[in-house]
Amino acid sequence: MTTENRALHLLLKPGMSLMRRLHFPAKMLLMGLVLTVPLGWLTAQALRDVHQRVIDTRAEVKGAAIAADLLDLIVLTQKHRGLVNRALAGDTGVETALADTRSRLGRTVHAVQLDVDTLPGLGLEKSWTAIDAELRRIAGGEYPREAQASFRLHTELVEAQRRFLVLSADRSQLLLDPEATTFHLMHLAVEQVVPWSEALGRMRGEGAALLHRAAPAPSEMHHVFAHQQLLAHQIAAAELSIEALARQSESRPASFDTAVQRSREFAQRVEAAFAPGAAPMDPTAYFDAGSTAIEQVAATGHAAAGRLSELLIAREARLQREWLLALASGLGTLLGVSYLAIVFFRTSFGAVRVLQGSVAQLAAGDFATRIRLRGTDELSVVGSTLDEMTGRISQMVSDIRSNSSMVAQAGLKLADDSRSLSERTEAQASSLEQTAASVHELTTAVNQTAQAAQEADALAGQVSRSAEVGGEAIGSAVKSMTDIQASSRRVQEIIGVIEGLAFQTNILALNAAVEAARAGDQGRGFAVVATEVRTLAQRSAASAKEIKTLISESVAHVETGVQEIGRSSETFASIAGGVREVADKLRDISTNTGEQSAGLAQISQAVQHIDELTQQNAQMVEQAMHSSTQLSQRAERLSQAVGSFRLRQGSADEALALVQQAVELYRSKGEGALDEITRDAEAWVDRDMYVFAFDRGGIYRAFGGNASRIGTSVREVRGVDGEKLVRDTFECAEHGGGWVDYDFANPTTGVVDLKTSYVEPVTRDLVIGCGVYKTRGVPVATGALEMQPLRVEQRLRLVAA
């Protein structure tokens, strides 16, 4: 932390510590007091200052009015002084003017008295009383009858009035006027006009008296010339004030130039009247010229005082407007600040209370609350952010709840399958034990077979050799029988010759008998011999025939024997070849049996190893079943834990419960249940969950709370792959129901989100379902959530995961 940050931290630490201990209303009250108290004080001070300036300006207006009356009074006093001075010098023509002047003087004194009486706050009474008494005596004709004494008295009264004028200007704040224009007008009217007119008055009075004398003293004329020089000084001072007014863009009084001109002309007249060797001058004309100049100076004073009064009255009005504006601004500011503070308090504290209540509801597990803060300020942004965070937490908890519910279902299914797998594994282990025993017996039998095959191989060798000997003997027999067959054919040929001879003999005997018969008695003996020969020939033919028959049969038998012996020879040859082949095969069998015996030994070891693995698998399956049961229980506890939260979205267990209720309703009411599901939105619509039903054609038969969807196709829904949804749904229905993932428009947001629905068939062509929306990237099921048979390794990996 830098030095500046540390210093800033030390500076802010007490206030931050205080603010951390105060509640929001106390903070607002403290900030309101810190803001409104100084603001109210400053506003009051500003109002007081403006009001004081209004009072001062009013006093200045009254002071300006007194100044105007006092200017008249001073001018009349100066005029009375001059007239008295002329009268005392022997001028008898001034009585009328003197009487008129006294009358006007009395009225003016009364007017000033009224001004003093109306301004008791200025404290002018005491100073005015003495002046008032002297003026009233003079107005009543009580004044010294000696010229110098009278002139001195009047001069003292003029000076007293001038001082009173300055006092009244001081008491009325005219002398301290804060603005340049009015200050210079005041300076001209109050501080310059009277000395100017007094210089003229003295020149007029003294000069007029001197002109009535025959020979005035030089000192007296020098005294008049001194007043002339004083007049020039007063005129120059007045011109400086006029120049100052011009710099303030204020026009000079209308009679100022005339007053200057008349004053200078009168000064020239004085110089002309009292210059050495000057011609005598009429005192009346001289006095009138001075009076004219004084009247013009008085008019200048009155014009300045009038303009001063106008400006002061305008200033008073302006200050009153400023006061009212300051009052209105102050009250408006206070009211505005108070209004804004109240509005800020109500909006901010209301927003804080809403946020506090929302956070309390969130802490209590209520994520279904919508945080709605109107506006675009930081608290509204915080509310919107908190609402968005609540929605995401609700979605996350909904996903957790849905997935935990599905994991619990999958865990139960896995536990059942693990139990079945355990039973099958145990049966497989028993079978493997029997197989191992059988393989051992088979190994023993194979070994015995190998030994028998070796013995059979030896016997086959002997049989092969015997068969070869028998084959040679049969070959010799075949040769002998062939020779016999050839001899029998030769005998048969001989017998044929004998048959021919017997036939020829018979023929000869017959012929002999015929001849004997022809010979008669001479041929009887020959006939007898012929008969005997014929008989012998017949008997020889019959015997030859019998022999031939016997020979033929013998030949046939010999031929048959030859054939049989040939076939026996071939058979013996085949047997000999077969015996050789058998010997070869037995030799191969013996060799293979040895190899088989070795292989069976390896198989026996492998079966024993498999048996051991099967036993281990059985244990692991038991562990997997235990783990899956624990997984199901933990998922169930997790589902129960998150089930206490109130969510904005529905969850899988709630959707499953709605589907089960709808299925029960359909089983009890049949097709009438579909209309009830569509009509009764309160029972079948919950937040973003609704029960629906559609057939194989994708036509909605029921839609919770939305009758307009009945008869429409799921394929018409925006953002939905209707063909895939219908196909996946009814594939899942063929397995008894389950979860299907697809994209669908969320009715609460109008946005196409990922949705998973539990569907369950109620008929072959109709399913009822209800779905929940979930976060993308967290798949719950692919198609139907069905636990297909898994290999042991897959299940173990699943349990491990």
Q: Do residues 592 and 710 both lie within one domain?
A: no
Q: Do residues 195 and 79 both lie within one domain?
A: yes
Out of 580, 613, 639, pick the residue that ends a domain. 639
User: Which CATH number characterizes residue 460's domain?
Assistant: 1.10.287.950
pLDDT at 400: 75
pLDDT at 778: 45
Q: What is the pLDDT of residues 692-749, one digit of tens each?
A: 999 999 999 999 988 998 999 988 887 788 889 999 999 999 988 899 998 887 766 6
In a domain, 367, yes or no: no
What does pTM read for this prediction?
A: 0.51
Q: Which amino acid is at 706?
A: N
Average pLDDT over residues 119-140: 84
In a domain, 36, yes or no: no
Q: Do residues 654 and 779 both lie within one domain?
A: yes
pLDDT at 641: 67
Q: Which range has highest mean pLDDT (149-158, 584-593, 747-756)?
A: 149-158
Q: Do residues 144 and 178 both lie within one domain?
A: yes
Cβ atoms 417, 787 nearer than 8 A: yes
Written as six digits, the tokens of 146 are 């000696």
> Of 141, 149, 245, 148, which Cα lies nearest the Cα of 192?
245
Average pLDDT over residues 441-457: 71
In a domain, 362, yes or no: no
Q: Residue 742: which H helix or E strand, with range?
A: strand 738-745
In a domain, 311, yes or no: yes
SS3 at position 437: helix
Q: Residue 341: which H helix or E strand, with range?
A: helix 283-344
pLDDT at 277: 66
Q: Do residues 672 and 757 both lie within one domain?
A: yes
Band (pLDDT 50/70/90 cuts) for residue 463 is low
pLDDT at 214: 62
Evaluate if residue 614 carries a pLDDT over 90.
no
- Per the structure, the complete domain to which residue 292 belongs is given by 60-331
CA 619 to chain centre: 51
**R_g (Cα) of the chain, nearest Å:** 78
In a domain, 704, yes or no: yes
Please tell me which residue, 205 or 241, carries the higher pLDDT value.
Answer: 241
Band (pLDDT 50/70/90 cuts) for residue 659 is very high
Q: How many domains are contained in the chain?
A: 3
Written as six digits, the tokens of 768 are 């009822």
CB-hemisphere CA count at 13 Å for 551? 19
Q: What mean pLDDT value characterizes the chain?
A: 79
From CA 301, how far away is CA 194, in angstroms rounded?
Answer: 8
Cβ atoms 192, 173 nearer than 8 A: no
Q: Which residues of 754-790 are buried (b: 16+ CB within 10 A; e: fewer)?
A: bbbbbbbbbeeebbbbbbbbbeeeeebbebbbbbeee
- Alpha carbon of 369 to those of 53, 180, 437, 647, 748: distances in Å? 61, 70, 70, 8, 14
Out of 331, 351, 366, pick the residue that ends a domain. 331
Cβ atoms 481, 562 nearer than 8 A: yes
CB atoms within 10 A of CB 354: 17
First to last CA, the chain: 48
Please tell me which residue, 41 or 496, carries the higher pLDDT value.
Answer: 41
| CA torsion through residues 24, 29, 33, 35, sign | positive
Q: Do residues 451 and 495 both lie within one domain?
A: yes
pLDDT at 761: 95
Please tell me which residue, 133 or 550, carries the higher pLDDT value.
Answer: 133
Residue 377 pairs in a beta bridge with none
Q: Do residues 634 and 763 both lie within one domain?
A: no
pLDDT at 781: 41
Which residues of 20-128 form beta strands (DSSP E)? none
Band (pLDDT 50/70/90 cuts) for residue 792 is very low
Phi and psi torsions of 142, nearest 5°: -95, 100
- Alpha carbon of 356 to those of 360, 395, 418: distances in Å? 6, 22, 50
Band (pLDDT 50/70/90 cuts) for residue 572 is low
Evaluate if residue 348 carries a pLDDT over 80.
no
Per DSSP, the residues of 380-435 read HHHHHHHHHHHHHHHHHHHHHHHHHHHHHHHHHHHHHHHHHHHHHHHHHHHHHHHH
Average pLDDT over residues 482-508: 75
pLDDT at 787: 35
In a domain, 325, yes or no: yes
Please tell me which residue, 644 or 361, carries the higher pLDDT value.
Answer: 361
From CA 646, how far away is CA 366, in angstroms rounded?
Answer: 4
In a domain, 455, yes or no: yes
User: Which CATH number characterizes residue 794's domain?
Assistant: 3.30.450.20
Cβ atoms 302, 71 nearer than 8 A: yes
pLDDT at 786: 38
Return all residues near 98 (Cβ < 8 A) that are at least 6 apart: 80, 83, 84, 87
Q: What is the pLDDT of residues 256-274, one digit of tens each?
A: 999 999 999 988 888 888 8
Average pLDDT over residues 483-493: 73
CB atoms within 10 A of CB 714: 22
CB atoms within 10 A of CB 424: 14
Q: For residue 45, count CB atoms less than 10 angstroms from its CB and return exposed for 0-12, middle for 13-18, buried for 19 or more.
A: exposed
Written as six digits, the tokens of 460 are 């086959």
Q: Do residues 760 and 782 both lie within one domain?
A: yes
Average pLDDT over residues 128-157: 85
Please tell me which residue, 259 or 90, carries the higher pLDDT value.
Answer: 259
CB atoms within 10 A of CB 48: 12
Cβ atoms 393, 777 nearer than 8 A: no
Out of 331, 350, 372, pick the residue that ends a domain. 331
Q: What is the pLDDT of residues 512-544, one digit of tens each?
A: 777 777 777 776 777 777 777 778 777 777 777
In a domain, 760, yes or no: yes
CB atoms within 10 A of CB 462: 11
CB-hemisphere CA count at 13 Å for 333? 15
Q: Do residues 658 and 623 both lie within one domain?
A: no
pLDDT at 576: 67
From CA 433, how far away is CA 10, in angstroms rounded?
Answer: 84
Please tell me which residue, 440 or 661, carries the higher pLDDT value.
Answer: 661
Average pLDDT over residues 676-684: 88
Q: Do residues 110 and 64 both lie within one domain?
A: yes
Written as six digits, the tokens of 664 are 């029960």
pLDDT at 801: 39
Name the DSSP class of 785: -
Q: Do residues 670 and 623 both lie within one domain?
A: no
Q: Do residues 614 and 704 both lie within one domain?
A: no
CB-hemisphere CA count at 13 Å for 476? 5
